[in-house]
Amino acid sequence: MGADYVDFNADVDDMEIAILEENLRTMNDVCQNLSSHLTTLGRTNRSIVAGVSPLMKDINHLRAREHNLKLIEGKVGVVKDYASRVRKCLEALDVKKLNNINGIKQYIDALEKLDSINDELNSEGLGEFEGLRESIGEGILDGELALKATLLDKAKLAKLDVSTINEMRTIYVYLSDVRQMALEDLITRERQTVSKREVVSMKPIKPTFAKDQTYIYTGEYGQDIIIYGKKVEAVIAKEEEIVNELFKGLEASMISRIMSKIVRHINDVFVFEIRAYVEFIETRKKMYATMYYDLSSVCASMHNWLEQHGYSLGPLKDITERIVRESKNVFSDFFNYVKEEYKSTPNNGKSDSMNGTFMNVITRLSKLTTFSEQQLQCIGTMTINSWLPNELPTGFIQEKGTSSDPHFLLATFYTDVIEFSFFSLMSIYHNKSEEDVGVSLLFNMDGLQALLDANGSPLRAIIGSRGRERLKRLEKKAMDKAVSGWSTLTARLMQAATKQNNVLSMPPKELTKFKDDFATTFDTLCLQFQRREIPKYFKTKMVSDISATLIPSYRVFALAAGPKYTKLTVEELSARLATLNR
C-alpha cells in the first residue's frame, strides 16, 4: 500500500503516533516548500535593493543640492554687495594715480580694502565663491606689482625732490611692512646706476698737450679738477640724504651698508678719472708734473670727506698715496731738470747779457710758486736737503738748519734751486775770465732781482729774509769775480805800500816799475769797465766797492811813496773812478 495507508487495527496510541508522524511529514514538506519560496524571495529582494540604492543616492544628492540652492539663494544679496565693493576697489587701482602722494595713498587704501574684503569673506564662510576670491587676489597682485614698478621708476630719477622722496617712502613702507617685500637691494642698484651715470657725465675736460717745450703747468685746469671733486662730494651727500629719508626707521647698520654700496660705485668712477689724469701727466712729466698738486688737493679733500662720513676709501687710498709720492718727487725732479738744462747750454754766451738757461730756470721756478700752499702741506713731511741730488756744483753750500717748519723747508728748497742754478751757470763759463764770469752772473742776478722786486712777488715772499741773505752771498760771489782785477790791483797796491823801519820795503827800481804797471793796469781796467754793459744797480755798486777799497789803499801808498812814484793824485784817481758810473 502507499504512504496514505492506515492500519485501523492498531490501537489508539499507535494511531496517534501514526497521525503525528503523518503530520510531521506533512509539516516537513510544507516547511521545505516554504524555505524554497523564501530563498527565492530573498534573491528577488536583493535584486530590488541593488536597483534601488543608486536611485536613493541620486535622491539624496538632489536633496543636498536643493539645500545648497536654498542656502545660496539666501546669500545672493550678501555676495552681490561684496562683488560691488570689490569692483569699486579694482576701479580705484588706476596707475595714473601713482604720480602724486594723494593718488598713491588712495591706491594703497584700495589695496587695503581688498585685503579687508577677503578677510570678511573668510570670516562669513563665503570662501567658496572662487570667482570673487580670484578677482581679489589678482587685483592685489597687480596692485603690488604696479606699486613696485612705480617705486623703482622713481628710484631711477637723477633729481629727486622732497615730494618725490615722500612718494617713494610711502610706497616703500607699505610694500615692505604690509607686503613683506625686500626692496632695499633693488632700490640700491637703481641709485648706484643713477649716481654713477651722473658722476660720469660731470667729468672735467682733459687738458691737451702744450706745444711749447718750456711749458710748465700752472693750474690752468686746477679749478676744473677741484670743482669736479666738489661735485662728486655733492652727489654722495645727495644720495646720503635720499637714503636716510627713504629708509628712515631701518637700523643704522643697514643704512650704512646701503650707502657704502652706492659710494663704492661713485668712488670707482672718481678714481678712474684721477688715474686718467695720472696717465696724462706721466706721458709729459716735465711739463705737467705740477698737476700732481691739483690732484693731491682734490684727492685729499675726497679722502677726508669719506673718512669723516665713515665710508671706505677703497681704491682712492692707493691712488692718493701715489699722488702724494709724486708730489714730493716734484722737488727733486726740479733739480734734475736744472742739471739737464745746463748740460745742453753752450759756454760761449756773451758776458754782458742774461743767460737764457738761468732765466728759464728762474721763470719756471717762479711759476712753481703757484702751488705754494699744496707744497707747504707736502714738504712738511720731508727732511731738509732730501730733494738735493747727490752731485752738487762746486761752490754750492747746503743749508744746515734742522727746522721742520714747512715754511722754512719750502724757502730752503726755492733758494737751493737758485743757488744750484747760479753755480751751475758758473761752472759752464770755465773758459772765460773771472771778470766776464762775474759780470755774466751779475746780469742774471739782476734779472732775478727784477723778478723779486715785482709787486706781490710770490717768490720773494716764499724765500723770506733768510733766502734773501743767501742771495746776497751769491751777489757778493758774482761781484768778487766781476771786480777781481780791481781787487788784485788793490792787493798789489797794499803790498807796495808795506813799510819796514818806516821805509817802503819795495826798492826804488821796483817802485818805478810799479808806478808804470799800476797806471797801465788802472787805465786798462777803467777802459774795460767802461766798455762792459753792466746792470745799472750792480754798476753803481761795483764802482762804490772799488772806490771803497782802492782809494784808501792808494792814499796810503801815495803818502808813503810821494809824487815821485805816483802818476795820479788821490783826487785824480777818485775822479777817474767816479766817471766809471756814468
> 82-136, pLDDT tens digit by residue?
788 888 899 888 888 899 999 999 999 999 889 888 888 777 766 566 777 788 8
**Residue 155, C-alpha cell as written in the block:** 628710484
Between these two residues, 322 and 207, which has the higher pLDDT value? 322
**Residue 197, C-alpha cell as written in the block:** 651715470
pTM: predicted TM-score of the whole model, two decimal places:
0.76
pLDDT at position 42 is 60
φ, ψ of residue 163 to 5 degrees: the values are -65, -40
CA 155 vs CA 43, 239, 479, 550, 573: distances in Å: 84, 11, 75, 89, 94
Per residue in 449-497, pLDDT (tens digit) is: 999 998 889 999 999 999 999 999 999 999 999 999 999 999 999 999 9
Contact between 395 and 426 under an 8 Å Cβ cutoff? The reply is yes
Q: Looking at 217-315, which runs of residues are DSSP E strands?
A: none
* Percentages (nearest 5) of helix, strand, coil residues in the chain: 75, 0, 25
| 503 pLDDT tier (thresholds 50, 70, 90) | confident
